[in-house]
Amino acid sequence: MKIEFSGATEGEAPLTWGQRLMWRAVHLMGASQNYLNCPFVFPVYGRKDLSVVLDALRVLIERHEALRTTFSDAGQRVFRDGVLEVELVEAGTDRGLRVADRVAAEMAHIVFDHGAEWPLRCAIVLKDGRPFALACVFTHLAVDYQALALLAEEWKALLKGAALPPVAWQPRDQAGLEASDAWQARSARSIAYWRDVLADVPLDVFDHPPGEPEDPRFIEVIMDSPALAVAATRLSNRLTVSSTSVILAACAEVLAEVSARSRVVMQLVHSNRRDARTRGMVGTVGQDALIVLDRPEHDFAEFCRTTHRAALQAYRNAHYDPAAMTVMREKAGGHDLDAFFNDRRAAPGWPALPPDTDLSVATTRTYTKNAWPGVRFKVFFTVGADAGTGLLSLIADTAYLPRDTAESMLRSVETRLVGAV
């Protein structure tokens, strides 16, 4: 099945700062760059004909330049017209959403050819001949998780036949803004903050050399813990800080113990969407923020407050020209900053968490989901987007963190949060 689209705009521009961050990651990860792919499923609400579903997808592509863009070292190129191949998959007796999740995951295993391929792949899952879901995978150069949430809302509206307002801000507009004097000055301030922070932190994440890695070397361990969600919510409300900061504090404390460091340095994945113009933009504007935390001498509650204040300062200094940042970091000594934290939730809390969920850890489970030969992270904590349970994952370099240690770290985060309530 083919979709022919014809947008209102075309042209070329430099990559945005967020896209440059992703472009660098693409080259660093090589064959493991499929880690950066973003699988996503759009349910088909109501009994819609195939033509309605295809038309809604066409409108999304035409509205948002990022979905009809190719990428290269030279920048981004937006096409006005094009054709997207869409596969049709019959679910048979299996559940439609389960099939859609599986199809999206399978497509996500394939690396994008960013200079020659559209930045999304799509398949429509049919149930008894009718569209049930749209399974997609996007390159992270085109979308971040806030962009996916925006697309999901527009998808619902389009299936209802609603007319959407024009898109006011596109990635090419963002690239032009970042080249302005005002944003170059903002970049300089952020880089100065990073320079000051790096002057007084360890060069390496761990205070010990690597050991023999497992094969594959990089793994992702996931903990599904309703108790974590309950504990983080209660602590957040009591301490009047975000649940993100509460979980970050627990992760930092656990990392300090395992790394044998009294001072923890982490990069925080930040959406950078506080500027109103970017809130309706499909694209990638997120960059990494830098936070430094000393192991707490006081109670965990005070450490959560300290973490929250430090995170806010870090977020304010997460807008910068990646090329200029690279130059500064090399001059500063080439610090190993391969410890990360990301919260993928689109909104605070867990709105679908069953109301009777308590602090019992009896239902907590951990499992290994993914493995890669070279994603180039030593430590990467991620709060999952599931609104009905507390998902916390840890990507670990097994040369530093064997599988059982990674699982133990996740359990320790849960223990700290539950114990502090």
DSSP letter string, 306-337: HHHHHHHHHHHT----HHHHHHHHHHHT----
Q: How confident is the model at residue 395 (pLDDT cuts 50, 70, 90)?
A: very high
Q: Cα–chain-centroid distance for residue 413?
A: 20
Strand order in the sheet with 263-270: 287-294, 263-270, 339-343, 379-383, 391-397, 218-224, 365-372
- Say whether both 165 and 191 belong to one domain: no
> Which residues contact residue 80 at a Cβ distance below 8 angstroms, ignoring those fewer than 6 apart?
6, 7, 8, 9, 10, 68
State which of 131, 146, 171 marks the end of a domain.
171
Same domain, yes or no: 392 and 255:
yes
- One-letter identity of residue 274: R
How far apart CA 156 and CA 152 sit, in angstroms, is 6
| Cβ–Cβ under 8 Å, residues 387 and 208 | no
Per-residue pLDDT reduced to its tens digit, 111-120: 999 999 999 9
pLDDT in tens, 307-339: 999 999 999 999 999 999 999 999 998 899 999
CA separation for the pair 88, 50 (Å, rounded): 10
Residue where a domain terminates, one of 171, 200, 232: 171
In this model, does residue 347 exceed pLDDT 90? Answer: no
| Judgement on whether residues 371 and 238 belong to the same structural domain of the protein | yes
pLDDT at 374: 81
The residue among 171, 197, 227 that closes a domain is: 171
d(CA 323, CA 345): 29
Clarify whether residues 143 and 242 are in a common domain: no
Taking only the tens place, the pLDDT of each residue in 88-126 is 999 999 999 999 999 999 999 999 999 999 999 999 999
Residue 147 has pLDDT above 90, yes or no: yes
Do residue 105 and residue 242 come from a single domain?
Answer: no
pLDDT in the model for residue 375: 84
Q: What is the DSSP string of 358-390?
A: -S--TT-EEEEEEEES----SEEEEE---TTS-
Report the amino acid identity of residue 264.
V
DSSP-derived pairing of the beta strands 81-90 and 2-6:
antiparallel
Domain that holds residue 221: 180-420
The alpha carbon dihedral of 325, 327, 329, 332 has a sign of negative
The strand pairing partners of 70, in sequence order, are: 77
**pLDDT band at residue 371 using 50, 70 and 90 as cut-offs:** confident
Distance separating alpha carbons of residues 262 and 256, to the nearest angstrom = 6
Counting the structural domains of the chain, the total is 2
**Stretch 302-311: mean pLDDT:** 97
Rounded distance between C-alpha atoms, residue 382 and residue 268, angstroms: 10
pLDDT one-digit tens code per residue, 156-186: 999 999 999 999 999 999 999 999 999 999 9
CA pair distance 373, 259, nearest whole angstrom: 22
* Whole-prediction pTM: 0.94
pLDDT at position 296, please? 80
| Per-residue pLDDT, 372 | 86
User: Is residue 255 predicted with pLDDT exceeding 90?
Assistant: yes
* 255 shares a domain with 353: yes
Instruction: Indicate if 166 and 265 belong to the same structural domain.
Output: no
Q: How far apart are CA 332 and CA 344, in angstroms?
A: 31
Q: Check whether residue 253 and residue 354 sit in a common domain.
A: yes
Tokens at 114, concatenated: 């960013």
**162 shares a domain with 208:** no
**In terms of DSSP bridges, do strands 69-72 and 120-127 run parallel, antiparallel, or are they unpaired?**
unpaired
DSSP letter, residue 406: H
User: Same domain, yes or no, for 237 and 364?
Assistant: yes
CATH of the domain at 316: 3.30.559.30
Same domain, residue pair 164 and 223: no
Check whether 153 has a pLDDT greater than 90: yes
Percent of the chain as helix, strand, coil, to the nearest 5: 40, 25, 35
pLDDT tens column, 61-82: 999 999 999 999 999 999 999 9
Same domain (yes/no): 222, 305: yes
Task: Please give the pLDDT value at position 4.
Answer: 98
